[in-house]
Amino acid sequence: MTDSHETHDHHLFSTTRFEDLDLHQDLLQGIRDLGFEKLTRVQDEVLPISLEGRDVVAQAQTGSGKTAAYLLTAYQRLMTELRSEASEGNPRCLIITPTRELAVQVSRDAEGLGAHTGLRVHVVFGGLDYKKQRAVLSEGVDILVGTPGRLIDYHQQGAYSLRHTEVVIIDECDRLFDMGFAEDLRWLLHRLPHPRDRQTLMFTATLSRRVTSIGWREMDDPAEIVIDREQLTPETIHQELYHVAAHEKFSLLLGLLKREGEGRTMIFVNTRVAARRLVEDLERNGYRARGLTGNVEQIRRLRVLDQFRDGDLPILVATDVASRGLHIDGVSHVINYDLPQDPEDYVHRIGRTARVGAQGKAFSLACDDYIYSLDAIQKYIGYDIPVVFADDDLYLQPVPRMRSSRPSRDRGPSSSRRNPSSSRRGEREDSRPRRRRRRRPSTQKKKDGEKKSSSD
Ligand code: AMP
């Protein structure tokens, strides 16, 4: 372990061990199986309060161990309190997440931690297996994880009831709002027992006023836990900023990929079109890459994620909506091929690397199209990203694109320069500026993060 690794460990982990907590033996067994020993700081701050049954609002990033913090709270309660007869068959714990990928991951984590508890975890989300998910739900479930649209849909069909739910977890609350789920969230919360008769835990990367207002209205005197801001960009992430002309970005990317050698690299772009084009360009230049964007069919997205996670796929090209909140261990490099337009996304993106104590590198290419967001990013993180000057030999000549009959696909990286607005209009994936107000939950099935398939 390097010095900085130790420093980061020190920053991320507390000195408390899971054995020090009065957790149910079956849970301790699950924790041991996963190899967890010490609590992360978030866990150390949240668990003593949440295990007492108190509501908590915690500002915590993905990568801080927040999922285990709330899952352990829920499991401990479910293991130590008897299920009421009235709740038979219905979820005792509800976990609401903004995206289907996060829902799947949370349910995986729950299955891991709860492997010895005998409790049933079920996940529901749009896009896949409509009837199958419903059938499993009807068989009875202890912990229900889902995205708002599907949760509401099944609830409206009477597939389950929330009247006796004991623990409610709202994960990535800020992102739920950003994705336009505010009304859905309220709809679900109003079908649950009164805040005083349930435990509510809320996790969010930012404590905006919208987020805290939910805390006051829908929770019972919650404890507020804020992890300090330096944690937003862990110091084990080596950051570099390159100023580059838009038409030379791809050459520089090739140089960086070559210089860095083998690794597991996430490349972020701002639009689906850019993601598709970049995957094509990378493949033409001999790199195996796949895209992770909101429009890709659900089953393919999960497959691509698995391949990347398992180390079979070295490069994932992602947009923000598709990648928020994913736990992918061992990401060695994050490359902001497009600088994000929202400063929070910079933190989320580079947080994909250096997860739980590991080290990683984050390179950002500041081109003429997206440079305007740099000031806001640096203001938000509280420091200037170190600028690195790229020597000429870091720019590699790409294999030229073939002329094709599909002109829109055939534009080089310089196309955005010729017509800078074209890449920003149209297929922008970040949902924030396009927030839509929707009136009724039942009309909210088709959306970027959670699209129902035609088979639904
Ligand atoms: P999260 O912040 O919930 O996204 O967690 C990020 C990663 O940290 C997941 O892969 C967890 O399995 C892992 N993790 C959570 N808590 C601990 C812990 N106490 N020790 C080691 N790894 C952990």
For residue 186, give the CATH number of its domain: 3.40.50.300
**Is 402 domain-assigned?**
no
Q: In terms of residue numbers, what domain contains 105?
A: 10-226
Q: Whole-model pTM above 0.75?
A: no
Q: Bridge partners of 427? A: none
Same structural domain for residues 252 and 140?
no
Same structural domain for residues 169 and 243?
no
Q: How far is the CA of 68 from the centre of ligand 1 (A)?
A: 7
Output 388-393 pairs: Cβ under 8 A, ≥24 positions apart.
388/240, 388/241, 388/242, 389/242, 390/242, 390/244, 390/252, 390/255, 393/255
Residue 239 has pLDDT above 70, yes or no: yes
Same structural domain for residues 334 and 371?
yes
Same structural domain for residues 287 and 219?
no
67 or 304: which carries more pLDDT confidence? 67
Q: Bridge partners of 352? A: none
Same structural domain for residues 204 and 287?
no
Domain end call among 367, 394, 421: 394
**Is 306 domain-assigned?**
yes
**Is 221 domain-assigned?**
yes
* 70 burial type by CB count under 10 A (0-12 exposed, 13-18 middle, 19+ buried): buried
Residue 452 sits at φ, ψ, to 5 deg, of -80, 140
Same structural domain for residues 320 and 196?
no
Domain end call among 226, 256, 290: 226
Is 202 in contact with 177 (CB distance < 8 Å)?
Answer: no
Is 168 in contact with 78 (CB distance < 8 Å)?
Answer: no
CA atoms of 4 and 126, how far apart (whole Å): 42
**DSSP alpha helices (H): ranges in 310-396?**
320-323, 343-350, 374-381
CA distance readout (Å), 404 to 281, 407, 419 = 14, 7, 20
Q: Token pair for residue 353?
A: 């690397």
**Is 326 domain-assigned?**
yes
pLDDT interval class at 454 (50, 70, 90): very low
**Is 309 domain-assigned?**
yes
Torsional class of 211: left (φ above 0), alpha (ψ -120 to 50), beta (otherwise): alpha
- Give CA 443 to chain center in angstroms: 25
Same structural domain for residues 98 and 242?
no
Element containing residue 302 per DSSP (H, E): helix 298-309
**Is 337 domain-assigned?**
yes
Give 3-51 pLDDT, tens digit per residue. 333 334 446 788 899 999 999 999 999 999 999 999 998 999 999 999 9
Q: How far is the CA of 356 from the centre of ligand 1 (A)?
A: 6
What pLDDT score was predicted for residue 417? 32
Mean pLDDT of the chain: 82
Pocket probe mutation, ligand 1, options 33, 40, 75, 201, max atoms within 8 Å of Cβ? 40
Same structural domain for residues 377 and 290?
yes
Average pLDDT over residues 251-276: 94
**Max CA distance (Å), the chain:** 72
Same structural domain for residues 218 and 255?
no
Same structural domain for residues 67 and 205?
yes
Average pLDDT over residues 134-146: 94
Q: Residue 36: CB within 6 Å of ligand 1?
A: yes
Q: Residue 401: CB within 6 Å of ligand 1?
A: no
pLDDT interval class at 422 (50, 70, 90): very low
Q: Residue 65: CB within 6 Å of ligand 1?
A: yes
Q: Which atom of ligand 1 is nearest to the CA of 65?
A: 2
Give 273-323 pLDDT, tens digit per residue. 999 999 999 999 999 999 988 766 777 777 888 888 888 999 999 998 766
pLDDT interval class at 60 (50, 70, 90): confident
Name the percent of the chain lying above pLDDT 90: 55
For 101, other C-beta atoms within 10 Å of its C-beta total 24
Same structural domain for residues 183 and 102?
yes
Same structural domain for residues 103 and 145?
yes
In the chain, how many domains are there? Answer: 2
